[in-house]
Structure 1
Amino acid sequence: MPPPVLLTELLEEVFLRLPPDEPEHLVRASAVCKPWRGILANRGFRRRYRERHGTSPVLGLFQNIRGDCRFVPTSAFQPAEADIRSWVAMDCRHGRVLFCSDGMEIGGGLEFLVWDPMTGDERRVAWPYRIDPIACFSMALLCAAEGCDHRGCQVQGGPFRVVAVLSTGWESRVTSACLYSSETDGWSELTSFAHLGASGLNMPSILVDDGLYFNSSGNQILKYQLATLDFSAFEKPVMFNGGELIKTEDGGLGFACLNNTNITLWSRETGPEGAVGWAQHKVIDLVMLLPDAALSVPTLSSMPNIMRAYGFMDVTHVILVGTDVGVYMVELKSGRSRKVLKQPCEFSEVFPYASFCIPDIPCVHATMCNLLS
């Protein structure tokens, strides 16, 4: 006698409860039979799954080490086949990674690669300008799909934008920015201002509404308005050569800075008279979040320091904290933390990769097979 047939609605309820940071469960369910695969591939199920779990989970890290990039998994996910050893990661956001050709000379021949680790889809973008001398160069990659809230960015192969920020040397002290659109396959004109030290190499950035903010190595934050292409700068909340841009719980611009074992969170707010300024609103004690072993070495060098706030990726409230015994991923909302790198990355850059890994289309077949192996 054949086993009873489970109703599709019941199966969906079971699948909806599978954790997104353990994508192998969805993949195995998809491999059971065609009816199960059909449920998981349904657009309605994918939408409900993203709505239930909110933001996409961090599946791994892209790490630059001595001119090479490698993928460090934090889950069972493995990216599609690609040789990224000759590229340097510049940004990772909205389900894709932006690379720059290694050993680049800004004066000419610069090339970028936009890659989807889920599908293996890639697109190359050439740099059109010749500007000398260049002291610092930073990039940001953004989803440009209409109506996307960037909580999942599941529009495979959808449009994207790239923002480039470059600064000349101390003699001319000019910082410029421009925007690339995959829909027009063209770059905008450069928008420039005297930077007065507002620059940095591979500055981290965060998207808030229609403004893209870059964290300079000095005491200023750069703002690039995507709609108008206006470019400006304003001061950080503290005169501190460090800290990271974050997104506050209500979706505004925030800043996180480290003081010994505390992370102080600031928010950008508008006062009663319309003036815009910073307000301190929270202090997080890392001793309460990190395991004892992370802070056990009694030396100044063992003090944790924020490596990147790229982990926020606009919607995922995650920050990376580096200590002498490794790098920890801290979720600011839940207070949970876990170790993601065994060694500190003082001389490397780390870009968390977040996405929903749901079986869907043929182009992700290779990635799914990696999860099942």
Structure 2
Amino acid sequence: MDGPVEDPFLRLSPELVEEVLLRLPPEEPACLVRASAVRKPWRRVLASAGFRRRYREFHGPPPVLGIVQEDASFRPISALPAQPVRSRWAKVKALDCRHGRYLFESYSRYFGEGEPVYITIADPLTGHELRLRTPVDDGVLWFSAAVLCAAQGCDHHGCQGGHFCVVIVTTNHQKKVTAGWMYSSETRVWTELTSVHHPDITKYTYNRGSPSVLVGDALYFDLDGIIKCQLGTLRLSMFERPTDAKGHVMTAEDGGLGFAAVVDVTNLTIWSMQTGPEGAMGWAKLRVIDLTTLLPDRALSIPAPEDGISGIAEGTQIIFVSSCVGTYMVDLKSRRVRKVSDPGRKVFPYMRFYIPAMEAASMGQGQ
């Protein structure tokens, strides 16, 4: 009687195993968990620094593993553990999410005289949090902030710990000046940015946490116009949006600065900042996408709150569209659409490569 038949897949060389594991989808970490359970040598491959580096290089920008919602709650959209926010304050509001961290503001009521403004930087996987007092003046109701990795030589595809920066920008509507500060976790000091005159402010805005995008060595905020923060020189500058319609700054297909807005309820319009024949910078309309061809039939039956765009995935062509029936993650390249949340005004994608088998493998657990 013949004995059991051995699966030839288990006899693959380590080199072939690595080639197979490299092709597992990063947006589904559970695939790596199941692969690590096959054999101990496979877990060793997953645990190696060389594999993790190749995996990130092979797949490019990190996948969207979850979203930070406007109330600073974290919602995984893959098989991903997460730690809850442990705020001591009555309310929290998300401001940004980038490079494995997210940023939120804690407040018990609107700021008043003598009340400091605090922000918290958190890692949703480890639960580690750092609360910072900001240099924002008492009584300020309107500001935006961004968090980003500051580790030297990091490609931002696998940020884990290390130093970070926080950039805050705010506008004094009486003086018509936009100013800002940058915090370094290495020096633990807030440095003031060069201010910029902001003459075209027409009304007082109570918005906090307007969107930002990192392109090269500059952060761009959408604040009554586009505000550019050059990180190397700590200088602020400003220029106009491509449209009066409310929208989001984003990464263009060529890797530069882009802008997306929903025009006339259903038309998603994409612009890119380009250099003209004589060197002048200007917006060029790239494409118009009819959202009725992507979203479910009932999604656009009632106008969405705000501009319809509730977030962007930096460095990708993924946007989040809020509709009356939910918030959808839309990949403009693949045209893949996925519902990820209830209707809401704003989400911040959590992007990261996550190999959950790494710790167990490095300790030699299992067979």
The TM-score range, normalised by the shorter chain, is: 0.7 to 0.9
Distance change >3 Å, CA 306–CA 84, structure 1 → 2: farther
For structure 1, which segment, 324-333 or 282-291, has the greater mean C-alpha deviation from structure 2 after superposition? 282-291
Distance across 1 between alignment mates of 2:38 and 2:78: 22
Residue aligned with 1:9, SS = helix
Distance across 2 between alignment mates of 1:305 and 1:249: 21
Residue aligned with 2:308, SS = strand
Q: How does 1:280-319 map to 2 (within 5 A)?
A: 280-295=285-300, 297=301, 299=302, 301=303, 305-309=307-311, 311-313=312-314, 315-319=315-319
Distance change >3 Å, CA 8–CA 164, structure 1 → 2: same
For structure 1, which segment, 3-12 or 249-258, has the greater mean C-alpha deviation from structure 2 after superposition? 3-12
Counterpart residue identity of residue 213, structure 1: Y
Counterpart residue identity of residue 354, structure 2: C
Residue aligned with 2:50, SS = helix
Residue pair 1:118, 1:364 contacting (<8 A) in 2 also: no
For structure 1, which segment, 75-84 or 316-325, has the greater mean C-alpha deviation from structure 2 after superposition? 75-84
Runs ≥4 in structure 1, deviation > 6 angstroms?
A: none
Distance across 1 between alignment mates of 2:299 and 2:94: 27
Q: CA deviation at 1:111?
A: 2.7
Q: Does 1:264 align with 2:269?
A: yes
Residue pair 2:94, 2:209 contacting (<8 A) in 1 also: no
Distance across 2 between alignment mates of 1:85 and 1:288: 44
Q: CA deviation at 1:305?
A: 4.2
Distance change >3 Å, CA 134–CA 316, structure 1 → 2: same
Could you tell me the TM-score, scaled by structure 2's length? 0.86
Residue pair 1:267, 1:279 contacting (<8 A) in 2 also: yes
Aligned to 1:207: 214
Residue pair 1:121, 1:157 contacting (<8 A) in 2 also: no
Aligned to 2:185: 182
Q: Does 1:50 align with 2:47?
A: no
Instruction: Identify the match of residue 354 of structure 2 among 337, 340, 357.
Output: 357
Instruction: Identify the match of residue 97 of structure 1 among 82, 98, 102.
Output: 102
Residue pair 1:304, 1:323 contacting (<8 A) in 2 also: no
Distance across 2 between alignment mates of 1:171 and 1:363: 57
Distance change >3 Å, CA 166–CA 363, structure 1 → 2: farther
Distance change >3 Å, CA 38–CA 122, structure 1 → 2: farther
Counterpart residue identity of residue 289, structure 2: I
Q: Once the two structures are aligned, what percentage of the paired residues are identical?
A: 49
Aligned to 2:283: 278
Counterpart residue identity of residue 170, structure 2: L
Q: CA deviation at 1:303?
A: 9.1
Aligned to 1:369: none
Instruction: Identify the match of residue 28 of structure 1 among 34, 43, 47.
Output: 34
Distance across 1 between alignment mates of 2:129 and 2:40: 29
Distance across 2 between alignment mates of 1:320 and 1:89: 16
Distance across 2 between alignment mates of 1:156 and 1:145: 10
Query: Please, what is the CA RMSD of the aligned residues?
Result: 2.7
Distance across 2 between alignment mates of 1:231 and 1:147: 24
Residue pair 1:204, 1:308 contacting (<8 A) in 2 also: no
For structure 1, which segment, 185-194 or 140-149, has the greater mean C-alpha deviation from structure 2 after superposition? 185-194
Distance change >3 Å, CA 133–CA 102, structure 1 → 2: closer
Counterpart residue identity of residue 97, structure 2: C
Q: CA deviation at 1:186?
A: 1.0
Distance across 1 between alignment mates of 2:322 and 2:180: 31
Could you tell me the TM-score, scaled by structure 1's length? 0.84
Distance across 1 between alignment mates of 2:31 and 2:340: 21
Distance change >3 Å, CA 364–CA 290, structure 1 → 2: farther
Structure (1 or 2) with the larger CA radius of gyration: 2
Unaligned regions of 5+ residues in structure 1, if any? 366-373
Instruction: Identify the match of residue 195 of structure 1 among 186, 198, 203.
Output: 198
Aligned to 1:332: 332
Q: CA deviation at 1:74?
A: 1.3
Distance across 1 between alignment mates of 2:66 and 2:361: 17
Aligned to 1:71: 74
Residue aligned with 1:236, SS = coil
Residue aligned with 1:238, SS = coil
Q: Does 1:11 align with 2:10?
A: no
Residue pair 2:219, 2:228 contacting (<8 A) in 1 also: yes
> How many residue pairs align between the two structures?
347
Q: CA deviation at 1:355?
A: 0.9
Unaligned regions of 5+ residues in structure 2, if any? 363-367
Distance across 1 between alignment mates of 2:257 and 2:239: 13
Residue aligned with 1:21, SS = coil
Distance across 1 between alignment mates of 2:29 and 2:136: 44
For structure 1, which segment, 77-86 or 265-274, has the greater mean C-alpha deviation from structure 2 after superposition? 77-86
Distance across 2 between alignment mates of 1:12 and 1:53: 14
Aligned to 1:223: 228
Aligned to 2:119: 112
Distance change >3 Å, CA 322–CA 48, structure 1 → 2: same
Distance change >3 Å, CA 83–CA 30, structure 1 → 2: farther
Counterpart residue identity of residue 215, structure 1: D
Residue pair 1:18, 1:26 contacting (<8 A) in 2 also: yes
Distance change >3 Å, CA 34–CA 115, structure 1 → 2: farther
Distance across 2 between alignment mates of 1:212 and 1:248: 14
Aligned to 1:38: 44
Q: CA deviation at 1:329?
A: 0.7
Aligned to 2:129: 122
Aligned to 2:322: 322
Aligned to 1:370: none
Distance across 1 between alignment mates of 2:361 and 2:319: 29
Residue aligned with 1:294, SS = coil
Aligned to 1:244: 248
